[in-house]
Structure 1
Amino acid sequence: MSQAPLQHALSEALNARGVTQAQFSELMIRLLDHGVLCRSESKKEAELYDRYLQIPELVEDYLSVLHIRLHHERRFTSLRLFPPGAEIPGEADSDDGFNSGLRNRLSQQEVALILVLRAEYDKSLRDGQIDEHGQATLPLEAINLASKNLLGRPLPEGRTERDALFRRMRQLRLIRSDGDNSLEDNETWLTIRPDITSLVTDTVLSQLLGEGARPASNDDAEEPSEKDEGEQ
């Protein structure tokens, strides 16, 4: 059976760039399934990111048919998907303050922690405490204190609950941490990725800092769909 015109055109465009249909499919499935891709996360994500660089216009054309936008953070070699209407720094505004790749709900605790991480990242940025990769490294105690000051509540005390919360932050490619370190220990250090700025807008951050603490609501947040931490 002959290929449909669109599939044939895509196949020819891919072949011209040295990418197979199977490789293109793998990249698109990963992006649509996870909603985020960071080159520094794993060998597999580095391979897929480099593949994207071979065919950026084909990936973006494919996503545009679905009305999904791709935000490419070139400085930090990351890709993140956003649905129609989502606010992307430097692009079209949205009525929602907190937007994401494929609109899966975050829990109230996850929303709260992301807001705190964004505020702490902004503080580190103002203080010039950012490394060459645009990352901010802070002790867990500082994040716990910021949660108390901004939202009126500390991080979860139970190890299981706290580990699950920060595991989700790693899955969303918002932080780095040593998986061998216990998050019960406030001396543990976490690295906040610059991608945090693409999820929490300056407007929401200003409201949080200007209006004081308020309980985070599930209506405030939707997340990039991602199921696994960096696969090797």
Structure 2
Amino acid sequence: MTLRESVEQALKTAQVSVPDFSELLIRLLDSGVLCRDESQTEQILYDRFARLEPLVRDYLALMGISVLHDTRFHYVRIYPPGADTPGLGDAPDTPPATGLRARLSPHEVALVLVLRAQYERALREGDLDDDGCVWLTYEGLTLALRNLLGRSLPESRSERRALFASLRRLRLIRYNAEEWMENPGSHLRIRPLIVTFVSDDILATLEGARDDSDEGRERSASADQQEDEDVR
């Protein structure tokens, strides 16, 4: 039996057509992620994946692609060969498949790091909603970006819109495009998928750098205060 015949037989058993299976694979390979609560289309595709998960995993494994499926928060993410996959052990030493790798700009990297840090903080405090998301205001985000990395959002309005749209396509955030950035008190939701984009080691390094910076500022403030007292 050929591979095609084997796949068709499995699809027949699952009562899924070949075009529907192809649509699911194309969507996964194109976007790299599925979130059930994103849209009606992704809900259908996610449910289809849940029915065909063993077959999809085996099919993608032939190309060295790993699959991460979070059944609690209902999302799926795929990883190219050689990528570190959370919870799936060390990846084999395989040349990278650049077509599946998200090439992030410096602004995108900075924003992802800050979102991950804010998510971790809320996670520790138990401040997640029923969907595992963390709510963050625009003002709170800009403040966290400045405090953690000493950076600001792009000055250009169009660049800021493109930046947030990019992270939305990665299913890392959700927000109301009409309100976001218009109102400093408006919120975005950081999705649980963010934890798969930043490793615990990188997060620990980021938090360590923040603690060192805070300690340095405290020492500087203490020294300034002591100097003022000596002058008096």
CA distance in 2: counterparts of 1:157 and 1:119, whole angstroms: 23
Letter in 2 for 1:55: L
Structure 1 or 2, whichever has the larger Rg, is 2
2:64 alignment partner in structure 1: 67
Structural RMSD (CA): 1.9
Q: Distance in 1 between matches of 2:165 and 2:25?
A: 24
Paired residue for 1:151? 149
> In the TM superposition, what whole-angstrom CA distance separates every residue of 1:97-155 from its partner, at most 9, and x where no partner exists?
xxx99113111100010000000001111111101111000111111111101111122
Cα distance, 1:187 vs structure 2 = 1.7
Trace 1:2-151 onto structure 2 (pairs within 5 A).
5-93=2-90, 102-151=100-149
SS at match of 1:191: strand
Instruction: Give the aligned residue type for 2:197.
Output: L
TM-superposed CA distance for 1:184, in Å, is 4.6
Deviation of 1:90 after TM superposition, in Å, equals 2.0
For 1:101 and 1:44, the matched residues in 2 are separated by 23
Judge conservation of contact 2:57–2:66 (CA < 8 Å) in 1.
yes
Q: Structure 1, residues 49-69: CA drift from partner, whole Å, max 9, x if none?
A: 111111111100010000000
SS of the counterpart of 2:100?
Answer: coil
* Higher mean C-alpha displacement, 160-169 vs 180-189: 180-189
Alignment gaps of 5+ in structure 2:
212-232
- Partner of residue 174, structure 2: 176
SS of 1:90's partner is: coil
Paired residue secondary structure (1:79): strand
RCO higher in structure (CA 8 A, sep ≥6):
1
2:41 and 2:72 map into 1 onto residues whose CA distance is 19
Once residues 2 and 90 of structure 2 are traced to their aligned partners in structure 1, the CA distance between those partners, rounded to angstroms, is 35
Give the paired residue count.
206
- 2:30 and 2:116 map into 1 onto residues whose CA distance is 24
Q: Which one has a larger percent helix, Structure 1 or Structure 2?
A: 2
- One of 181, 184, 187 as aligned partner of 1:186: 184
**Are 2:117 and 2:203, in contact at CA under 8 Å, matched by a contact in 1?**
yes
What is the one-letter code of the residue matched to 1:206?
A
Identity percentage over the alignment? Answer: 48
* Separation of aligned partners in 1, 2:118 and 2:130: 18
Q: Is the 8 A contact 2:63 2:81 kept in 1?
A: no
Secondary structure of the residue aligned to 1:76 is coil
2:180/2:188 contact within 8 Å kept? no
Check the 8 A contact 2:138/2:180 in 1, yes or no. no
Query: What 5-or-longer segments of structure 1 have no aligned partner?
Result: 214-232
If the length of structure 2 is used for normalisation, what is the TM-score? 0.84
